Structure 1
């Protein structure tokens, strides 16, 4: 089975199929088709065809032309694959060995794979004209090397050629084809965002790792198309090399006005289309690919477009004057369908002579393209010209509503904008990006550059820039108020599509020539979106820039709500970028004070949430509980039940850390049982946390404390699965860092801890969450200490803890210090171990944290035993047992009871030890598989044997004496 475009040809059965339907072709015509396919793209002369098809018959050449026409008719949209070589013969383009043959040999089974392959290639409704040989060349180049760059001037058709080649290569890349548009990227820092989005990964902050993206592509067979690389050439070259290095199956196809200069790169120059020479006959003119493109586009606009001899001649003249540049030809064809060829040809000559020029060092075809755009622009009506200029401000696709907003600022009515935009689309100056019911539009990059130049020439750039910024301010301000009827997820998706435009508007607003008042207003609206996209670094930096600008400007131009939104975003990002430091707490306190002053209950609630989270992350358990209860009081004044439920979740978390485990479970279970996702939503941009997931994760910690280790790990795994589906990195990191990994470490489940740590590191690296990087270093040392190979790692453990203290991220400090102390004990560094434990105990005393207090006391008792201070050891074990019982922390109670029982066994207090241990284990009778329960029962069994031995020893002498 051979594929020619969308047609599947079976030489064995002499059949042609298109989209599953049979295509009729006569026997002689099929013989010719078979001969052309066998030549694999080489020229087949007219004489050779005649000898093969009519070996015993003398026929006229027009018979051959009739059958060639029949083949082209059968191939339909792929008719141009049968190429006429004037005066010599014909050849079939696109039939090659290797990769080309693999594509040509796609059968029904492979075709199904083709259709299921993931790709995001742009929609093109028109057939590619005149590039069949170029496509074949690109396919061959991609087969032989990993990086191919299509190089040529603007408007030459590099992108269209790349898309067609990629589309034909879909069957060869089972892991898909990703199209990465770099044109909207104004700063090379964001090139990785575009790559990540095209690959289906989350867009990331400035700290996104190219190495991580390349790692995700390891051992895949995937084609990456990097489009419009010239303005971010260094970043594009780095991406191409990293992707190619990911594996032999990876391929990169780039388009650029210059070579990437990457290792082993093949540079393929994309040339102009063929144009006829002056005075050529009509038949020869029609064989020129530039003429074929012109006629195809003109007939698409006007099916009655003339193709008589005079029209063909004029078309050849026009294409020759336009140097065969596809963009210029398409623009000319659109106008020809309206004005007619005679008028077009006459005006084209005048415009070329009048408007050609520019820099003398520029390539002639660059000047020609400029002249073509000038000419096309002058043929527009006033509304079309004005709209085109102002649409140049959009660095990426724009919506119809955005065009209407711009038009309204220009005094145009809705109908006038519709007509102007429709005219620009029909004349190929604006293109439709997709075929959806709510399409987006964009200007080709060459057209956009021209529009911006015209904007400057008319002195409108400043006004247009303000309108561009205000458009997105109004748009997302309106979206914020529409969240009652739209989903937050849809709103975030809309913002993601516009993030290039938003970044450009913010960059302008805070530049030397910008408008800071507009910038502050825009930032206050859009910066919270950055937080919800996990772009915390960018959220932090842009909020800080806006706040500084506002404080330098007139305070009257800085509304309280704008300040609240910006300070809230800044504080929220600070927690993740710098930790719950004093600066973070001061920022939340500022939000709270301002919210109370202006009577804004919504921001007062948000501030209390932020303060509670910062206190909790900083290990300030007592203060976190106070703030949580203050939030509940405020929530009780609201008619929205959501706030009350969130208050229960917050109080449940605080109660867990202060050691009130049963009450914590009650609050969390109350919240989860009443929570209805569809009804209880805190639809606030900048606060995207899924409350139910967070509550379920917290319940896992409480469940562990109450003695059900297996149930706790099950709940933690469920919460992690939900967090991944929720697709918000900050929630996923919370579940991993605060719950899943700590519980796995506490349970001694090294495999689960390693999995969770790897996942946490990956996400934290991708979205630049520095606090989790620091915490992971401590978890790594905890995990390593479980292996027993500890002495040479103590310095690293100490250093990791110091870094954690530096950012005040102390929620898990007591657990980590306790494990560090045990590692020191195993190294017989008892003084250092006591120092670590005393630090943890002092932290508990100062902050009210109690959830791990029992284990700290037990660890101190173990140190005292090692120092042979048995009385002190017994006192600390007893304190540990009392603390665990007071909290109903059954697991910690068993651990404390086991330690005290071992001491009593050494002291000969066997009966007391048995009673103590039996009572502690009785509270965990429902969890026989728990590791601590197994250890306790093993100790109890040993104790029973010893008691029995003593009883027997005491009994035998009595028998002898009798």
Structure 2
């Protein structure tokens, strides 16, 4: 590398003065940190040679272990200093760095050995001055931040710590200064500007703090800088924000004139001077809402516990307490000052009191240290400080932005501010620079938010009267326009495909609806907004919420009564009631009114929607003839239309036919619907029809496939329906697929493992999304499995509970099936009279409703109960089995036929009628083409072969 030149190196207007330790561009000094300067010095002296990272470390950080990231920080600082000539510094991958150009040396070299360390430990012989305050307590959770800032202070001459009030800028700056003292080899001064109200006093304050002995009334920044001269020092200048322009001028003058001075400033907004590096102090880490298990790993929780123990020495955080602490820290945004206040109050009031009163945080969170500055003694005072420094236009915008609980875009901010886009954008930029607004990113467009504590403060300032009412009205009107694509049939599919764009506004939309539909809001505006967003809620898998807003809006419909708004709201409420509450009279009335309005407006889209809803209502409540009427009406309306409409009609007709045991025609219709329903606009069609035609067709068709003995196909179809249902990401669609797969496929085929898997998922999913009818099905699956596994008492309880929920919800598609399961459980428990009563209920219901496909199995189970009871005439039992076989045969239901036939053969064997298996079972068995490994079919084969 050669010898170090203690002279002046020059290249293309750049000068590197080793004697003065100064980098200049066209004669003007360029600010650069001490260690960054040493890296540049090493590279220039190397005359274009590559210098390895190891060599740089040995020279610049002698005897220390330095991470790659530290070198990269300093390399970035050099490139920033070089500006437009940043490409002079080259990174040679895997080898090191080099500086380009012919740097001319204008002085003779000194005979100093290469790699002589330029930084020496702090001398004990020389006296250096410092007023850096001693540490009052441990700085919890800041080690990573300290490491980052230490690197920056050696790479840049001016580092500004920014962030909102209470984030810990002053404490952090003091700790950084204390860490630098041992190797500083110069003075270190802490200069506090918090008490200044006159910007003109900034130079005087620095002169006094540094004991410069300047006289006169006109002490300027330049005069202070000249007085500092060549002294080596670190200046920590605290709280620059209230005199920001004067502070910036003072620091700029010092950096320009005093090459041996570095500045560490704290401010809620940037100094905006050349050479400044802004470091935004992050909040402490807080656990996610669902991540309480490792709460102790998060620095916010650690600080809370440390401060609580300082006041309550025996404080011991249990898991329950950790959950409360995590909640408190998260709601306080990880701001150290707020957490310290909360910990102080928790030590006297208890954790639950604090966690439950965070909405009143400005009254609750007081009690900072008596030695703290007044603005740090209450949370409100900390924010008052920042708020009072704002010009009125920015105060007004900050107040208006408080109505956004989920952040905001520029368009939304313009809408509520009432100002121009340029004025609003400038004000947001200023609020960001003052650490009151946080930039969240621009992945799908720029977005900002207020820290929750700042938002609560600004919302309080906004009040509840005129300004608040005006801001909320503007917000509701903005969202009325923003969500309009969900209310336009031609735009609906595109809106669904861009759902992420709208999803971010969920909490903001809730706030707008909550206000509009409140007593102090605007009911008509709220009704229009609820109608406009009804499909959005369903697309978000929030069917229940769609119904809730529609119901509130209908109560305040006012002059919108009889309008399209009412039609849309009735449709939304009707669908929601079907899926969350069941088939109530109220739901039917709501939908009937919606259909009348749709016909009055000649709205084909909503005629389809409401017709499908009324069909769904009838089908699920087992009014199969009514369902067929709606289905045939729909079929006539769409005759000759597109394939999607015809596939929908096939689905509507095929489902009631399935339960009426028209298995061949129903199966063909449902299979055709599943294969031909287009998937292009699938999510849009789910909103319009209240179901996914493809998965619903497949799920229902499993009944036809099993009945006709196509058992393997039924299993495949069930699995395919679940797979496709998952792709829709709609809870009610997945519940349909899970229910049919668990019940009509797995339980009918006695595949207990699959029934358990699907049943448990169904229970969880239905509970999570408030889908009561499907929760009832899940309970019944659980009961059936308990009974079949030898625990009939538990099975009886779960089955009765689930069946009771079904009756209350009038969700009766599975009702006879589970009455049979209940009868079997009662039979297993020896309660034969109750079993016969329930099987009688199942038979009566099925015959009354035309639910014919279950009748053969109900008759067979009745025969099983009588046979087990062993008091009936054998001919009665035999007749029941034969009736079951005859009806199954008439329906083309060979699976139920072989099931009844097997029971008959086994009964005859037990009662001396052996030798009948081949005659009874073989003709049925020979009709099967698949499913030979299923329990019932393989059992029949064993009997045919004489192995029973």
TM category (shorter chain) comes to 0.5 to 0.7
1:809 Cα deviation from its structure 2 partner: 2.0
State which of 886, 890, 896 in structure 2 corresponds to 1:892: 896
Q: Give the alignment partner of residue 399 of structure 1, picking from 409, 412, 422.
A: 409
Q: 851, 869, 873: which one pairs with 1:869?
A: 873
Contact 1:708 1:930 in 2 (8 A): no
Instruction: String of CA shifts for 1:322-368, please: whole Å, max 9, x gaps.
Output: 9698xxxxxxxxxxxxxxxxxxxxxxxxxxxxxxxxxxxx9478446
Select 1:85's aligned residue among 174, 178, 201.
Answer: 178
Matches within 5 A, 1:844-883: 844-865=846-867, 866-883=870-887
Q: Please give the residue correspondences for 1:289-300 in structure 2 after superposition, counting only pairs within 5 Å.
A: none
- Answer yes or no: is the 8 Å Cα contact 2:560–2:566 preserved in 1: no
Pick closer, same or farther for the CA change 1:557–1:635 going to 2, 3 Å.
same
Q: TM-score, normalised by structure 1?
A: 0.63
Q: Equivalent residue for 2:946?
A: 942
SS in 2 for 1:441: strand
Alpha-carbon shift at residue 218 of structure 1 (Å): 6.8
Q: Distance in 1 between matches of 2:319 and 2:452?
A: 25
Counterpart residue number, 1:706 = 708
Tell which has more relative contact order, 1 or 2 (C-alpha 8 A, sep 6+): 1
Residue 207 of structure 2 corresponds to none
Deviation at 1:525, TM superposition (A): 1.9
3-state DSSP class of the match of 1:772?
helix
**Distance change in 2, residues 1:60/1:484 (3 Å):** same
Partner Cα separation in structure 1 for residue 460 and residue 479 of structure 2: 23
Structural mapping, 1:455-474, within 5 Å: 455=462, 459-474=466-481
Q: Distance in 2 between matches of 1:31 and 1:838?
A: 92
Q: Who is 1:25 aligned against? A: 56
Find the residue that maps to 1:84 and give its secondary structure: helix
**1:529 is aligned to 2:529:** no
- Between the aligned partners of 1:225 and 1:920, the Cα distance in structure 2 is 71
Correspondence for 1:923: 927
Q: CA deviation at 1:243?
A: 9.9
1:594 shift after superposition:
2.5
Structure 2 residue aligned with 1:259, among 332, 342, 347?
Answer: 342
- Separation in 2, partners of 1:789, 1:668: 37
Q: Name the CA distance, whole Å, in 1 between partners of 2:735 and 2:178.
A: 64
Structure label with greater radius of gyration: 2
1:395·1:500 contact (CA, 8 Å) conserved in 2?
Answer: yes
Q: Write the distance in 2 (CA, Å) between the matches of 1:645 and 1:476.
A: 30
Aligned to 2:388: 374
Encode CA deviations 1:2-39: one digit per residue, 9 max, x unaligned. Answer: xxxxx9xxxxxxxxxxxxx94863535423545999xx
The answer to whether the 8 Å contact 1:540/1:570 transfers is: yes
Distance 1:467 1:579 in 2: 37
Contact residue 648 and residue 677 of structure 2 kept, 8 A: no
Q: Does 1:546 align with 2:546?
A: no
2:592 aligns with: 589
Contact 2:59/2:118 (8 A) holds in 1? no
Q: Deviations over 1:633-686 (max 9, x none)?
A: 22337x553232222223222222111122222112212222331256645757
> Closer, same or farther in 2 for the Cα pair 1:748/1:219, shift >3 Å?
farther
Structure 1 unmatched ranges of 5 or more: 1-6, 8-20, 38-49, 63-67, 92-127, 132-153, 167-177, 181-194, 196-212, 230-238, 268-321, 326-361, 946-962
CA contact (8 A) 2:493 2:683 kept: no
Give distance in 2, aligned partners of 1:607 and 1:715.
29
Matches of 2:298 and 2:484 in 1, distance apart? Answer: 39
In structure 2, what is the Cα distance between the partners aligned to 1:24 and 1:376?
50
The separation in 1 between residues aligned to 2:928 and 2:296, in whole angstroms, is: 52
CA deviation vs aligned residue, 1:372-408 (integer Å, no higher than 9, x gap): 4233224x5xxx666555434323211222234346x
2:519 match: 512
CA 1:89–1:761 in structure 2 vs 1: closer, same or farther (change >3 Å)?
Answer: same
1:652 aligns with 2:659: no
Counterpart secondary structure, 1:918 = helix
The Cα shift of 1:491 comes to 4.6
Distance 1:910 1:687 in 2: 54
Report the Cα offset of residue 706 of structure 1. Answer: 2.1
Whole-angstrom CA distance in 2 between matches of 1:56 and 1:440: 47
TM-score, L = length of structure 2: 0.63
What residue number does 1:497 align with?
Answer: 504
Tell me the SS of whatever aligns to 1:810.
coil
Q: CA deviation at 1:429?
A: 5.0
Q: For the structure 1 residues 457 and 900, does the alpha-carbon distance in structure 2 shift closer, same or farther, using more than 3 Å as the test? A: closer
Q: 2:837 aligns with which of 835, 838, 860?
A: 835
Please, which of 684, 694, 697 is the counterpart of residue 696 of structure 2? 694
User: 2:487 matched to which residue of 1?
Assistant: 480
Distance 2:930 2:386 in 1: 83
Q: Once the two structures are superposed, what CA deviation does each residue of 1:189-237 show, in whole Å capped at 9, x if it has no partner?
A: xxxxxx4xxxxxxxxxxxxxxxxx57xx87999869899x9xxxxxxxx
Query: Which stretch of structure 1 is more off in the superposition, 256-265 or 825-834?
Result: 256-265
User: Does the C-alpha gap of structure 1 residues 794 and 513 become closer, same or farther in structure 2, counting only changes over 3 Å?
Assistant: closer
Question: SS of the counterpart of 1:395?
Answer: coil
* SS of residue matched to 2:852: coil
* Alignment CA distance shift 1:244-1:456 (3 Å): closer
> Partners of 2:449 and 2:916 in 1: how far apart?
82
Q: 1:840, CA displacement in angstroms?
A: 0.9
- Inter-partner Cα distance in structure 1 for 2:539 and 2:117: 71
SS in 2 for 1:677: coil
Residue 690 of structure 1: how far off its partner (Å): 3.4
Deviations 1:259-301 (A, max 9, x none): 3749999x9xxxxxxxxxxxxxxxxxxxxxxxxxxxxxxxxxx
**RMSD of aligned C-alpha atoms?**
4.7
Count how many residue pairs are aligned between Structure 1 and Structure 2: 689
Relative distance call for 1:85 and 1:641 in structure 2 (3 A) is: same
The offset of 1:894, in angstroms, is 0.7
Matched residue SS, 2:176: strand
Task: Give the C-alpha shift of residue 794 in structure 1.
Answer: 3.7
- Please state how far the C-alpha of 1:517 moved relative to its aligned partner: 1.5
| Deviation at residue 536 of structure 1 after TM alignment | 4.1
- Structure 1 residue 726: deviation in Å? 2.6
How many Å separate the matches in 2 of 1:577 and 1:443?
A: 36
Q: Secondary structure at the match of 1:511?
A: coil
Query: Corresponding residue for 2:309?
Result: none
Question: Aligned partners of 1:446, 1:905: CA distance in 2, in Å?
Answer: 79
Counterpart Cα distance in 2 of 1:724 and 1:585: 29
Q: By how many angstroms is 1:932 displaced?
A: 1.0
Q: 1:911 to 1:595 in 2, by over 3 A?
A: same
C-alpha contact 2:628 2:653 (8 A) present in aligned 1 = yes
Deviation at 1:501, TM superposition (A): 1.4
1:620 paired residue among 620, 623, 626? 623
Inter-CA distance 843–242: structure 2 relative to 1 (3 Å threshold): farther
2:269–2:435 CA contact under 8 A, matched in 1:
no
- Give the 3-state SS of the residue equivalent to 1:259 in structure 2: helix
Contact 1:532 1:685 in 2 (8 A): yes
Decide whether the 8 Å contact of 2:881 with 2:903 is kept in 1.
Answer: yes
Matches within 5 A, 1:155-194: 163=282, 166=285
Listed one character per residue, the Cα deviations across residues 498-529 of structure 1 (whole Å, up to 9, x for unaligned) are: 12112212222232321111121122222443
CA distance in 2, matches of 1:731, 1:688: 9
Structure 1 distance, partners of 2:553, 2:927, is 57
